[in-house]
Amino acid sequence: MTSREKTVLLWIFYLALFSVVVVVYLDWRDGTWEWIYHKSLKTAELRNETEPWLTMPSLFNHRDAYASQEPKEISLPRWFNPRARMDVLTLTPWAAPIIWEGTVERSVLEDYYKRKKITVGLTVFAIGKYLDKYLKNFLISANTYFMPGHNVIFYIMVDNISGVPQIELGPLRTQKVIQVEKESRWQDISMMRMKTIGDLIETQIRHEVDFLFCMDVDQIFESNYGVETLDKSVAQLHAWFYKERRDSFTYERNPESAAYIPYEEGDFYYHAAVFGGTPEHIYNLTRECYKGIQYDKEHHIEAIWHDESHLNKYYLRNKPSKLLSPEYCWDYKIAWSYNIRNIKLSWMPKKYEEVRSN
């Protein structure tokens, strides 16, 4: 090879190298490489943080084969645009999406999940006076707005079956009423639902649904609460804390409690009024929270916000794969916020003196 040929080849090599550098730089500026990095980080973290105590893969049936994973046919950038809402945080530090109005291309997700013919469960507890005061409005609104166009099973836990209102359900909707024991204290009702949900998943729900949401009854749906909320582990940002600093979160601060979170730790403050995921992940969450509640009881401790305190501890150690903005659980007592564009679910007026016995 002549020196001229070597010179030509060398120039070709430099030009190719320069082209690669330019492409990488442009992709980096556009955020693509950062996204790929975070996506890989998310996958690794979720793999490492999968709850180790669940050692029997046969416990959950074939439904989890696809429901427990991000849809393979539609990558996150196809249906989620984190830059569509520059006024709010749309990605967590571990690259989980935070769902706000305007960030989601719902038609892409609708097409995917309709082809899968999914079934979504919704558990709700209506104990004591909560049954008469809240359940009817909750069910009527859920019948209209919760997962429209998809199979839904409502699991209604009550202490008085005769008090369940008769609601004419729409197509694809099924209602199952389960009688549970009423605890003597409302705090125990709140905490014991973790055990009840876990038991019900183990015996029944895991065979019947692909995804599951657990919600408080003193809420009402206002607009479509759809498939954009589905993922394997879904947490709800608390409306009163989504703008607050970490050190103002009302975590349990007693080091003796199983729910303890020190001031220097914490990601977000999550609301126990809404949480969801696949049956497997909800089973893990409820079992771990119940285990923490039992530990505290044995040591004569009660976490400041009961099961919500334990739920926050769980999510700190097991990062959720999707977060829902306060639009998915809003309190109208909060002063108006320009961040809130489309409320899907809202708190009903809290009248604890009427519905709580202690």
Active site residues: 308
173 CA to centre of own chain: 22
The first and second tokens of residue 106, run together, are: 């719902």
Sheet containing strand 322-324, edge to edge, reads 98-99, 322-324, 233-237, 270-277, 211-215, 119-126, 151-158, 173-179
What's the one-letter identity of residue 271? H
Strands (E), 18-172: 98-99, 119-126, 151-158
Nearest residue to 137 via CA among 160, 165, 173:
165
One-letter amino acid for residue 297 of the chain: K
CA–CA distances in Å: residue 348 to residues 42, 185, 326, 332: 35, 21, 15, 9
The amino acid present at 248, given as its one-letter code, is: S
Sign for the pseudo-dihedral over CA of 106, 282, 202, 218: negative
Cβ atoms of residues 115 and 340 within 8 Å: no
Burial of 202 per CB tally in 10 Å (0-12, 13-18, 19+):
middle
Token match 């190298």: residue?
17
> In which residue are the tokens 């923490």 written?
292
Count of alpha carbons within 13 angstroms of residue 242, beta-carbon side: 26
Contacts of 344 by beta carbon, 8 Å cutoff, 6+ apart: 145, 221, 222, 223, 224, 225, 327, 328
Torsion of CA 129, 133, 139, 145, to 10 degrees: -130
